[in-house]
Structure formats: structure tokens, C-alpha cells
Amino acid sequence: MIANHTDRLDEIALAWNRFEEEVLDAQGVLTPELAEQHEALQLAERHKVDGLALYVQSLEQQEKGLKAIAARAKEKAGTVQNRIKWLKEYAGRYLDARGLTKVKGDLGYTVAWHGNGGLQPLEVLVDPKTLPANLQKVTVEADNDAIRRLAAAAGAENLVVNDVVIARLLPRGRHISIG
């Protein structure tokens, strides 16, 4: 089967594998038919890579545009949020000036003061480190940088402390670049 530009990359990869098997079966002799297959595979591969790259670039531009729209929308939402806050404060000042806790409108809307629920707000006035132990929360986490340094110094993928494997270095990831 000769590959063409409409094939998917995985189909082209399978075609390359079949081609290599056919070359081996022909004991390395590149017959005119095999040469034609080789040229078709190269052409299909180039077309597919170009198409893939163009599509990815198009999606990247779309992503960039959507992120810009989202940033503008977030900024506008912040402006609207600030306006809502100001209007509520304005209504609160009106209620306070009139000595009211609630006022009703003709359309059924009500502007009213309400007490907040939940825990009463608390402000800690000293450095939390100076508080007695029973008034502190302590968070413990691994020092990844120190563990990496120790593993590197030991020259091992697994870090063993007191006969216990406490950490291991994982393989670095990889990524595709298209451009």
C-alpha cells in the first residue's frame, strides 16, 4: 500500500514499517516499486507534518486570542464587582443615615442590613511563632531541594536513609515542539 497525504500519522508509521519489511524481504534491493513507495511515504509524511504544524499554530493563535478575551473579561468583571460593592456600601450609608435596617421598594426589592454568619472574625496581633504551642498549627512538608541534593551526592536514583527508601528520582519528562 502506498501512503498518501490523507493518511493519519499512525497509518503512515505503519506504512513505513511495512515498507522496511518489504526492503528486508527484497534483501535491501530498492526496486522501482519500492522506490515509488519510499517517495510516496516521504511525501505523505512531509504533507502530514506540515498540516499538523499549521493546525497546531492555528490552535495556538486561537488559544492566545481566547486568553486575551478572558483577561479582558476578568478585568471587566473586577470593575463590575467594584461597582456592586460601591452600590451596596452606598445603600448601607443610606440606611445608616436614616436609622433603618431595611427599606422596601415598589417592585418587591428590599435593601437590608444582615448580620454575617459563621465564625466571628479574628485578628491575631502577634507573630504566630510567639504563640504557645497549643495555639499554633504546624505544617510539615518534604524539602525536595535538599532531597535532590542528597540523592545527587549519593549518585543514586533511590535515596535510602536508615535502610528505608525515602525518595526516588523520576525520569525527566519530554515534550513535542512544533514550528
Residue 11 · residue 44 · CB < 8 Å: no
Please report which confidence band the pLDDT of residue 159 belongs to, taking 50, 70 and 90 as the band edges: confident
Which of 178, 177, 161, 149 has its CA nearest to residue 169? 149
Residue spans of the domains in the chain: they are 1-112, 126-167
Per residue in 66-122, pLDDT (tens digit) is: 999 999 999 999 999 999 999 999 999 999 999 999 999 999 999 999 999 899 999
Taking the C-alpha atoms of residue 17 and residue 66, their distance in angstroms, rounded to an integer, is 40
CA angle 109-100-93, nearest 5°? 85
